[in-house]
Amino acid sequence: MGKISKVLVCGHAGVGKTAAIEHLIYGTHSVGSQMYPTIEDIYSAMIETDRGVKEKVIIYDTGSLTENKSELPRHYFSFPDGFVLFYDVTNMESFQKLDRIKKDIDRFKDKREVHIAVIGNKTDLQEGREVDKEKAAAWAQREKVKLFEGTVTQRKTIIDPFVWITSRITQPPINRSKQSRWQTIAGIWCR
């Protein structure tokens, strides 16, 4: 276990951010249970990376973006190592808000130092789907973010994005001096 990583979770009101975090950490969620709007909350979790190492992650659950509050406070962009952006696949407006959030991240953070996962939540409600999966995938590719789709009712679809982002944040840096030295040696041997 290395340093403690910080992940900021944000998105439009009612997309399931808090329900997803609580299901990720506590493993409990009742479909249709009463959820109250989040002002702000902080969770601590041990997440096993794709390398099999458990890492401590602090998850910051932000207050929802609404018509009255359309952007995150600037100080939210200074501390996270990564971002998890949520949208509701049955709500096009929630997807459109991601563009603004992503532009703010690009403006306030150096792109090389931040990882972003995007979760299209509520895929169990396919009959009301407004956000086309291909459109979301094209946006994610253009913005260079990792897209996931899932639902709080299937815990694995919520765990995977957090494992992915934790694995990227805590990935050990490549030792460039050894790598370039080997390439030089290999180049000499090939001649």
pLDDT digits (tens, 9 = 90+) for 99-127: 889 988 888 876 567 899 999 999 999 89
pLDDT given for residue 74 in this prediction: 76
Token couple for 76: 């939210």
Backbone angle region of 84, left / alpha / beta, with phi > 0 → left and psi within -120 to 50 → alpha: beta
Kindly give the residue spans of alpha helices, DSSP state H, lying in the chain: 17-26, 92-108, 133-143, 155-169, 176-190
Backbone angle region of 43, left / alpha / beta, with phi > 0 → left and psi within -120 to 50 → alpha: beta
User: Residue 21: which domain range?
Assistant: 5-190
The predicted model gives 33-47 an average pLDDT of 77
pLDDT digits (tens, 9 = 90+) for 12-33: 888 888 889 888 998 876 666 6
Only one residue has tokens 């200074």, namely: 78
pLDDT given for residue 65 in this prediction: 58
Residues 108 and 72 sit within 8 Å (Cβ to Cβ)? no
Q: How many domains does the chain have?
A: 1
pLDDT given for residue 54 in this prediction: 92
User: CATH no. for residue 160?
Assistant: 3.40.50.300
pLDDT greater than 80 at residue 164: yes
The residue type found at 66 is: T
